[in-house]
Chains A and B, each alone.
Chain A
Amino acid sequence: MLLSTVNLSKSFGGLMAVNSVDFSIKKGQIVAIIGPNGSGKTTFFNVVSGIHRPSAGKIFFNGEDITGAPVYERTLKGIARTFQTTTLFSNATVLDNVIVGHRLRTKTGFWDVLTRNRRFKEDERKCREKALEVLEFAGLSNLADRPVENIPQEARKRVAIAMALATDPQLVLLDEPAAGINFDETAGITELVRKMQKRGLTVCLIEHKMQMVMNLAEHIMVLNQGMKIAEGTPEEVANNKVVIEAYLGSDDDAEDD
């Protein structure tokens, strides 16, 4: 298991945003987390990536307990993530955005910068090469020098993924990578995620576009009101009665109205 959570919970005041979730991701898999709005998907990501401390439960990455590790340490260990609101350094170029993404794998410090010694040059080169490599991988080479605020939404989504890839991750958490883009563009992102898997990466995504999820994911977890209500292959999940109820409401609900 690359990542596993045991009994993971996160509450905000009285609200259980994530409630005792046991979940595992195998190496090399593409898994998806789905669920109605407000079901705790993003909170789950935030707890796994360390932005929120869990209220209870444990998180293991490569068998190591990372429950208490700070955000940056998890990224160093190999968990990268993107945000739903495509967060980027908006006043910089695409290339500059992605270069910072590889900073964590370099050791250049104050002294190296002052003397511009070999390590400084080596690290600058390393970051630039890495950035160019992941931009090429994400199909963004032609946009490298454009200010990130002047590129289309789909390209921004790709930049966010490229930045995550620049950190040399093992596991990439994608929070709605296809939100706000059209059908063809979604197919492009789907292709990119596939390509990531072929490169040996493990991908976990949150997505509302069911066609994309069913197409990509080998394993799906369904959350509702913070709880895991179903888990399995796309077919199993799609035919699960509880899941259908969570999305569409049950017959009982209809009678109540």
Chain B
Amino acid sequence: MALFTRKNCPALALVILSLILPLVITNKYFMHVIIMGYIWAIAVYGLNIILGYTGQTALGHAGFMGIGAYTAGLLNLKLGLSFWPAMVLACLFTAFLGWLAGIVSLRTRGHYFSIFTLCVGVIIHVVITRWDDLTGGMNGLIGISGPPPAGPVSFDSLQAQYYLVLFFLLATIFVAGRVVNSLVGRTLTAIKTSEELTEVLGINTMKNKIFAFVLATFFAGLAGALYAGYIKFLGPQMCSVSMTFDMLLYLFVGGNGTIAGPLIGSLVLSTITESLQVVQEYRTVIFGPILIVLIIFFPRGLYGGYEILRDRIRRRLPAREAPEGAKEEVC
């Protein structure tokens, strides 16, 4: 497999850019915004699997991210587990709860599924808010320790934390990309387009939907654990229902059902959110129209819009067509 095909070039350029970013940006606050954008992006990649590719509008995503964060935080605080095993267990536990929620909620379809998962999200939030003895209730969990040094690499500096989060973000994109560009991904997209037809084609749609849901919640758990290790404080607001809708917004703005969408949406919107901190509660007044304009002109989000533009330009420049290089990947 050649590394520098035409198809890979933009992606590789972005990876290199993201690697040198901390050397260019010295502003700590800005670094923080980007790290948070990456963490959200990991969770949104999960949402993209179940919603963007499988077409199941799951609305409990922030709840699962909360499960991941609190599991990691509690394992660290109450059992003294270090960040790494806590993170692994948090992902697995979240995915397990995702499986449990999935086998029940995926029996419903369409709006009913959305409402059901929304309720799951609300229940998780309520439990975390009210279970004072375990989760600290409204006071939250304070003093979670960050990742201990892995060999010679310490994660104390902001740069190091940036690379840590970046590593998991790239791993997430890698896994999501491999899943999507395969028979498994085709199966999920088929379910999105027509569940009935997919079933008639001999595919156990329930099993596939559960797989997508478990993978989605696994990513949510991973994002939550990274959040816990990075912020080191957990409050119940992080898993409130409104966070789910923020993630939905990230996904739709970036591009629902596209591989770059979650990253673009999370980065663009968390940057905008931060720069609109001055106007706090009025920021929805700004977000609303942006979203409407986007949905009218770019129904598949920013990345979808980019793809349309790119295709148009390619058609104008037929001389540059190079089908041999472009088609070698299984897609």
Contacts and interface: CB of A to CB of B under 8 A. Distances in A.
Interface string B165-208: 00000000001001100111111011001101111111111000
Given A104-B203, A114-B178, A163-B201, A90 B186 contact: no
Contacts of A89: 189-190, 193-194, 197
A197 to B, nearest CB: 22
B182 A113 contact: yes
Interface string A80-100: 110100011111100010011
Contact of B201 (A108, A123, A167): A167
Interface in A11-27: none
A220 B57 CA distance: 45
| Max count, chain A CB within 10 A of own CB: residue among B185, B193, B197, B201 | B201
A72 B205 contact: yes
A104 B215 CA distance: 21
Contacts, number: 87
A6 interface: no
A179 to B, nearest CB: 17
A196 interface: no
B319 interface: no
What is the interface of chain B mostly: helix, strand, loop, or mixed? helix
Interface residues of A, number: 37
Interface residues of B, number: 26
Given A89-B190, A100-B190, A71 B182 contact: no
B196 to A, nearest CB: 7
A194 interface: no
Contacts of B13: none
Given A72-B204, A72-B205, A89-B190, A106 B183 contact: yes
B201 A90 contact: no
Given A89-B190, A89-B194, A100-B190, A113 B200 contact: no
Contact of A71 (B179, B183, B184, B199): B199
Contact of A103 (B178, B187, B215): B187
B219 interface: no
| Max count, chain A CB within 10 A of own CB: residue among B200, B203, B205, B215 | B200
A108 B183 contact: yes
B202 A72 contact: yes
Interface of A: 49, 51, 70-72, 75-76, 80-81, 83, 87-92, 96, 99-101, 103-104, 106, 108-110, 113-114, 116, 120-121, 123-124, 127, 163, 166-167
Interface of B: 175, 178-179, 182-187, 189-190, 193-194, 196-205, 211, 215, 330
15 contacts: A70-B199, A71-B199, A72-B203, A75-B202, A80-B200, A89-B193, A89-B197, A99-B186, A103-B203, A108-B183, A109-B184, A113-B178, A120-B182, A123-B183, A166-B201
